[in-house]
């Protein structure tokens, strides 16, 4: 299996509540609650490690409450290369209702200073220059206070210069900054892509045209997620659309992170001809669908995962639909 470096600049302790329905202004009694070490890059790392990859996690952690992260990293088999900074890592609340609606209340994160960025770059350079360097780097999540867009762009450019394939999953102005650095892969959702494109993307054809623009701008793998409507993937070999299996969604928080991890797993495992591309996209889409059924990341060992694969539809956009999984 491959070695992957996953970077989370603004991690969090995720406190997830499952509710029948959220009643504003009232006392709510959840049916369950769960506290997890999280952040988009941490979630990606957790899935990749579960799939057998050798994963190192890095970014910024507050030194006042890093114990839950250290325990989780040990439990999940992740190598810890986080830079500790003064303060406490933020806590995010996730309120998931039975209808599938999720309300996020995200903390702002710890202030990051220039010296912290320098320490992070030094840590990452050590990982990239090791005798067994990573075969892919993932930067995922929001930016913490104090980390400017210029500093973020500088970090991405520095990582890209290493020659290791760079994948980025972020949003808002950080997404626009990331696109300008032309990483190997990027995964906005349809709303984030519309902001970048400057116009509504209210059809698959409009989304496909925008994804092709991303690809032609220098991004090898342009992935556009649209929830239950599926995923578009444009690369040098062509364009594909995946439709996930129908599932009852109860918590969508980790679905996108699970998808990114599933894609990387496939790309790092296969040679990526057309059949391998379809297999990769099918696996990632099915695993993401598995994730929305519960709190946490997708589980490829779910008892019905083969069925989820079989009911994931992959269509090459200049070809016919192919049904059924090939594993």
- Catalytic site residue 257? yes
Helices 255-269, 40-50: axis angle to 10 degrees equals: 50
Nearest-angstrom CA–CA distance, 100 and 255: 13
42, 76 in Cβ contact below 8 A? no
Q: How many CB atoms lie within 10 A of CB 240?
A: 25
Q: How many angstroms separate the CA atoms of 120 and 258, rounded?
A: 25
Catalytic residue (choose from 14, 36, 169, 257): 257
Q: How many Cα atoms are found within 13 Å in the side-chain-facing hemisphere of 81?
A: 21
SS (H, E, C) 269-320: HCCCCHHHHHHHHHHHHHHHHHHCCCCCCCCCCCCCHHHHHHCCEEEECCCC
- The candidate with the shortest Cα–Cα distance to 297, out of 49, 9, 19, 5, is 49
Answer yes or no: are the C-beta atoms of 306 and 264 closer than 8 Å: no
For residues 281 and 320, is the Cβ–Cβ distance under 8 A? no
Q: Are 83 and 147 in contact (CB under 8 A)?
A: no
Q: Provide the annotated active-site residues.
A: 257
């Amino acid at each position: 299996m491959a070695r992957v470096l996953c970077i989370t600049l603004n991690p969090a302790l995720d406190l997830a509540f499952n509710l029948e329905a959220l009643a504003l202004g009232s006392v709510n009694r959840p049916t369950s609650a769960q506290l997890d070490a999280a952040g988009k890059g941490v979630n990606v790392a957790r899935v990749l490690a579960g799939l057998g990859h050798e994963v190192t996690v890095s970014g910024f952690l507050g030194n006042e409450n890093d114990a839950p992260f250290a325990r989780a990293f040990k439990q999940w088999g992740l190598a810890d290369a986080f830079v500790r900074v003064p303060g406490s890592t933020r806590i995010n609340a996730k309120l998931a209702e039975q209808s599938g609606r999720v309300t996020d209340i995200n903390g702002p994160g710890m202030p990051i200073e220039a010296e912290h960025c320098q320490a992070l770059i030094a840590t990452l350079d050590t990982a990239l220059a090791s005798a067994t360097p990573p075969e892919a780097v993932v930067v995922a999540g929001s930016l913490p206070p104090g980390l400017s867009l210029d500093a973020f762009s500088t970090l991405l450019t520095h990582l890209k210069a290493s020659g290791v394939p760079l994948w980025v999953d972020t949003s808002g102005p950080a997404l626009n900054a990331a696109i300008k650095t032309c990483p190997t892969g990027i995964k906005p959702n349809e709303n984030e892509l519309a902001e970048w494109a400057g116009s509504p993307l209210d059809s698959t054809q409009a989304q496909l045209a925008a994804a092709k623009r991303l690809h032609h701008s220098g991004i090898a793998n342009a992935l556009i997620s649209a929830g239950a409507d599926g995923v578009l993937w444009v690369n040098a070999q062509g364009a594909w659309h995946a439709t996930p299996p129908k599932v009852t969604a109860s918590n969508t928080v980790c679905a996108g992170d699970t998808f990114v991890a599933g894609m990387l797993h496939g790309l790092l495992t296969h040679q990526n001809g057309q059949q391998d591309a379809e297999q990769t996209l099918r696996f990632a889409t099915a695993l993401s669908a598995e994730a929305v059924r519960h709190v946490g990341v997708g589980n490829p060992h779910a008892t019905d995962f083969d069925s989820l694969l079989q009911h994931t539809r992959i269509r090459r956009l200049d070809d016919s639909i192919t049904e059924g999984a090939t594993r």
